[in-house]
Amino acid sequence: MKYTRIPHTDIRISKICLGTMTWGRQNMEDEAHEQMDYALDQGVNFFDTAELYPIPAKKELYAVTEELIGNWFKKTGNRDRVVLASKIAGRAEFTKFIRTTGFTRDSIIEAVEGSLKRLQTDYIDLYQLHWPERNTNYFGQRGYNAHAIDVWEDNIHQVLETLRDLVAEGKIRHVGLSNETPWGTMRFLEESKVHQSLPRMLTIQNPYNLLNRLFEVGLSEISMREKIGLLAYSPLGFGTLSGKYLTEIPPRKARVTLFPNYSRYSGETAVEATKKYAELAKEHGLSMAQMALAFVNTRPFVTSNIIGATSMEQLKENIESIEVNLSDEVLEGIEAIHKAIPNPAP
């Protein structure tokens, strides 16, 4: 395994992060525990979860993923071997069953307390805002066109004050963003620069893969100049970059098959690009999934690459991507495809 550090800290984390969003829906508890056992044995010490998981969100399954992780901590005693990240859900139609969502002081405290209880731990190493409260372009929205209907009032200072108090209490160690834009990222960073008692956002968890490299447009410079590390999620684009959906009959238990509304990486242009990446991998004798993951692993702004798997076979292949070195010829081929079909998935 290769390791990095959470920026501005001495916390050493694996370059591969174990994602957990299928646990409790596509994967049952024994499978989740098997994945954690294996990942830890392979040197993966960074796990990412969220109060909303598993997804798609469902009232009856709210926060089950955190419970499964908590049960594993209790069973194995491995809490001190894991750097644990979780997230508070933002305001949305599909989160109304949770509580009065939004990042009010009471809501943040309630969310943290709930996660700590379910995870059976006294602290969370990295606590993230799952997506912005304000209307903006995230979750596949390519352009920003929500300003006229946005009723959000800037509460970033108050959010950071609440997070500061939770850090002081020892309930969370550090904080990060998720699904955030360049404006939002800089707004949080500037607030903590001006008011130095407030905690600094250290990471940003956004989508990044061969079909969606939009992070490079504005956020990559912020990431590198401000040292706010990308935790890349969906590095395989809901599994499309494994090539498994290029068959005439889609795999029966795969995510996009089960939840066809997860079509972000399945548009006509995205499929065209996926076919080209599949051909490139085959030409160079590479697993398509490992080529896609290795590309993400080696980007200079990526702090950790969040993989997800529903089978042990997938998990092993994904973790092994850390040992894959892409030749200059492969990287040139990737850039040629990207130039011809740039960012087909938003």
Residue type, 180: E
* 3 part of the active site: no
DSSP 99: S
Residue type, 162: T
Report the alpha-carbon distance of residue 264 to residue 295 in Å, rounded. Answer: 20
Contact assessment for residue 258 and residue 232, using Cβ atoms and an 8 Å cutoff: no
Tokens of 293: 């993951």
Report the alpha-carbon distance of residue 135 to residue 116 in Å, rounded. Answer: 29
> Which residue out of 3, 53, 138, 245 is catalytically annotated?
53
For 5, the enclosing helix (H) or strand (E) is: strand 3-5
Contact assessment for residue 202 and residue 176, using Cβ atoms and an 8 Å cutoff: yes
Q: In terms of C-beta distances under 8 Å and separation of at least 24 residues, what long-range contacts does 259-268 make, across chains too?
A: 259/56, 261/56, 262/56, 262/238, 264/140, 264/237, 264/238, 264/345, 264/346, 265/209, 265/211, 265/212, 265/234, 265/237, 265/238, 265/240, 265/241, 265/345, 266/238, 266/240, 267/344, 267/345
Kindly list the catalytic residues. 53
